[in-house]
Amino acid sequence: MNEFEMTLSEKLDLLNDDSIRLYKEGVFWVAYEQDAFRLCCVKHLRPSCKYVKVVKQTVISVGFPDSVLQSVLAHFEVKERTAFYVCMSTEEEMKPQAFATWKSEVETTARAVQKVKTELPAMNSKIELSDMPSVYERLRSFRLCTATPMDCMRFVEELQEMIG
């Protein structure tokens, strides 16, 4: 089985060594859990958090487009590279407590974002003129400099739904 056909469970089983692994998934390169943490320590990436039924756990990941790959690779020694997989070595020792704290913070942030999303006006209801200040506030507070292209696309979609 090649790395392109690996399941998430198999990818998670490879964690906890001195390597960072990236997997090509669609148009993005993705790292999971401890590998995502290590990448976020050297490159400003926005982690995402999702409960995955197949592995029965919350999984943290970071992803970025192919155009960013070279800038990420510049921070590490590449041990192996194919069209769908990159394995890099790192001199940084994995600190389990630091990872656990980071993961907890990511999960807390994800829950807060989900709560805000559920409090938005229903998708089918048009926003009233009196609610426009909330749209402006959302625009003003959106951190474009730290958002991924996917975050921006979702944000625009949410605003479009809000204004009908």
- At 43 the pLDDT is 86
The answer to the question of residue 115 being in a domain is no
- At 117 the pLDDT is 66
Q: What is the mean pLDDT of the chain?
A: 81
Q: Between residues 72 and 136, which one has the greater pLDDT?
A: 72
Residue 124 predicted with pLDDT over 50: no
Domain hosting 54: range is 3-110
Query: Span 48-73, mean pLDDT?
Result: 91
Residue 57 to residues 11, 33, 39, 113, 137, Cα–Cα distance (Å): 14, 11, 21, 19, 34
Closest by CA position to 38, among listed 60, 11, 10: 60
In this structure, are 80 and 155 located in the same domain?
no
Query: Span 135-148, mean pLDDT?
Result: 75
- Say which range, 20-29, 125-134, 137-146, has the weakest mean pLDDT: 125-134
In this structure, are 88 and 130 located in the same domain?
no
Calculate the CA 49 to chain-centre distance: 7
- Which residues on adjacent β-strands are paired with residue 65? 28
- At 113 the pLDDT is 73
In this structure, are 30 and 93 located in the same domain?
yes
Q: Between residues 159 and 47, which one has the greater pLDDT?
A: 47
Query: Span 26-41, mean pLDDT?
Result: 92
Q: For the chain, how many residues are written?
A: 164
Number of domains in the chain: 2
Global pTM reads 0.66
